[in-house]
Structure 1
Amino acid sequence: MWILFTLMAAFMQAWRNAFQSRLSRDVKIAGVTLARFLYASPLAALYLWLLYLWQPAPWPQLWGLGGLYILGAALMQILATALMVKLFKLKNFAVGAGLAKSEALVAAILGTFIFGTHLSLLGWIGVFIGALAVFLLSVGDSWRSMSWSTVLLGIACGSGLALTSLWVREASLVLGLPFPHRAAWVLLLVILTQTLLLLLWLWLTDRNTLQALWQRPKLTVATSVSSFMGSLGWFSAMSLTAVPYVKTLGQVEVFFMMFISYFWLREKVRVKDIGGLLLIAMAAILVLWR
């Protein structure tokens, strides 16, 4: 079941990234970040309500360690999303999202040293290949034009997404509810926290950005809906198995991104970029087989 949830998440996240990439042409970073969560909260609440109608379950205890994990995941995902939008402005869609896919490798490393996940020699080879791929994707037309700022931004984005995933997994386990209720509660609380924080921030500091989103309803709704479906897949999968397994399999998103980038966004992808993205996919497979 976790494999099906992961494949759904990867497919929907590729589309969400595409919608965010296009929205970022006309809307500031904070607004594009909000678009990811804005209409997702009602969908998450509806999903949780339907779950309780289908199969009643206890209500979770939201205070204590579980609440801290949820708050940390919400804040870290906001930061990571903003960094990803910044990546889209520096590079084209496929390359920017590819750099952010260092998330899977960072999750494997953090999982090993902090959360007790074991990596075999084959897994560490995968980590090395992934790091090489991120380096390759950051290079311009020549090795001398390599952008270290893009490398660091990509790794920072991936690290933020990795921490988000690890904390989501821990929050799901701490709540102590049956599946899929525990994943649905974490999904709703994380998205609701993010929505309220960003709405308050923009209302106080930049109402023009809120107006810009209101003037682009189709892209905003498309971003929110695809984000909700993607998060539903990720949170459910991570509730069922360890984060490194989910995120490494989720690297199939790379191929969805290549397809969307070429056929929908009409962006050119260099041979070197394709090679880097394929290396990331290879690294994911090796880490999965650890």
Structure 2
Amino acid sequence: MAFGFLWIPATILASLLQTARNLAQRSLTDVIGVVGATQVRFLFGLPFAMVFLAAACLGLRTLPPSIGPASLGYTAWGALMQIAATALMLAAMRERSFAVTTAYTKTEPVQVAIFGALLLGDALSPLKFLAIAIATAGVIVVSWKLGEKLTRAGLRPAVLGIVSGACFALSAIGFRGGIQALPEGNFLIRASTILVLGLAMQTALLTFYMLVANRPALWLSLRNWRRSLSAGFLGAAASQFWFIGFSLTSAANVRTLGLIEVPLAQIASRRLFAEGTSRREILGMAMIVGGVGLLLLISLQ
């Protein structure tokens, strides 16, 4: 397949853009709250996703594929799980460092691998599962301090982050299922179509909710439109590259390579938030890089 390994640079770009988007959303959380910052990536990201789809259709001289019940159902599931995952992640970030919260959410790949094998029939060899397990163990080493007591205050952000990771796993499976269920179109058109569909669902649902339950946060996000627009663009661009990855390989491959976001988050924490990096965290990040490297060696064979 001519584009067989395009998922690798696409995933790396997605990770870089997602790190930037998380930083933008975190800065908005203190201004407009968790729900307000959650909806920004959808409401302000949808117009950019529509531009991406239009550009792909014009460039390839084709129309978007028709969307059947299976694709609609998978995408709706992915959209709902992503809303829950984003809200839980931002809530955890208010209580723990940016880097550690990112690490908690990245317990996702093992769950993605299992769900993908069971629900979508994605191939999962023992060696590939070992690579995913090593990288995920590195995440645990990064986030768990030796001898740290699990008080209620310390347990809450851990639970929020890990459950967020589970929701991100189910979201990835839903979106890959939606892309696979489309009847025609090349990988770029299929990825862009599901991105627009998913963001449209999320925007409609969250905007309705905020109009009913949290109207001030919606007005605040509109009032802070410059920062919201930045987060929306970064979110849409990151999702575009995630979805390109999903259209070309299993969600487990994409999400495991995406663990490079953890070292990126550590760098961001040190430079922007003056959050230090311990030897334990360096060891964990080395395990992440090792697991990701093994996955890539397997994939490139």
Tell me how far apart the structure 1 counterparts of residues 65 and 122 of structure 2 sit (CA, whole Å): 27
Query: Which residue is equivalent to 1:187?
Result: 195
108-117 or 126-135: bigger deviation = 126-135
Runs in 1 of length 4+ with deviation above 6 angstroms? none
Which stretch shifts more, 83-92 or 270-279?
Answer: 270-279
Question: Structure 2 stretches of 5 or more lacking a match?
Answer: 1-5
Q: How far is 1:85 from its partner?
A: 0.4
Q: Residues 59 and 119 (structure 1 numbering): CA distance in 2 closer, same or farther, change over 3 Å?
A: closer
1:162 alignment partner in structure 2: 169
Question: Superposition RMSD on alpha carbons, in Å?
Answer: 2.2
Deviation of the 1:82 alpha carbon: 0.5
1:32 matched residue in structure 2: 37
Pair 185,254 (structure 1): closer, same or farther in 2 beyond 3 Å: same
In structure 2, the CA distance between the partners of 1:215 and 1:206, relative to structure 1 (3 Å rule), is same
8 Å CA contact retained: 1:123, 1:289 = no
Instruction: Go from structure 1 to structure 2 and tell me whether the alpha carbon gap of 1:158 and 1:278 turns closer, same or farther (over 3 Å shift).
Output: farther
Q: CA deviation at 1:151?
A: 3.4
Structure 1: unaligned runs, 5 residues or longer = none
Q: Is 1:56 aligned to 2:64, yes or no?
A: no
What TM-score comes out, normalization by structure 1 length?
Answer: 0.90
| Structure-2 separation of matches of 1:63 and 1:126 | 35
TM-score when normalising by structure 2: 0.87
Whether the 8 Å contact between 1:248 and 1:288 is mirrored in structure 2 is no
Q: Deviations over 1:146-198 (max 9, x none)?
A: 74433332221111111111111111111122221111100101011111111
Structure 2 CA distance for aligned equivalents of residues 102 and 49 of structure 1: 35
Corresponding residue SS for 1:27:
helix
Number of aligned positions between the proteins: 290
Q: How far has the Cα of 1:127 moved from its partner?
A: 4.4
Note if 1:150 corresponds to 2:150. Answer: no
Deviations 1:183-231 (A, max 9, x none): 1100101011111111110011111111222332332122111111100
Matches within 5 A, 1:70-89: 70-89=75-94
Question: Out of 146, 155, 179, which is 1:172 matched to?
Answer: 179
Structure 2 equivalent of residue 41 of structure 1 = 46
Determine the C-alpha separation between the residues in 2 that align with 1:191 and 1:165: 14
Q: Quote the Cα distance in structure 1 between the aligned partners of 2:278 and 2:31.
A: 26
Q: Does 1:12 align with 2:17?
A: yes
Contact 1:14 1:256 in 2 (8 A): yes
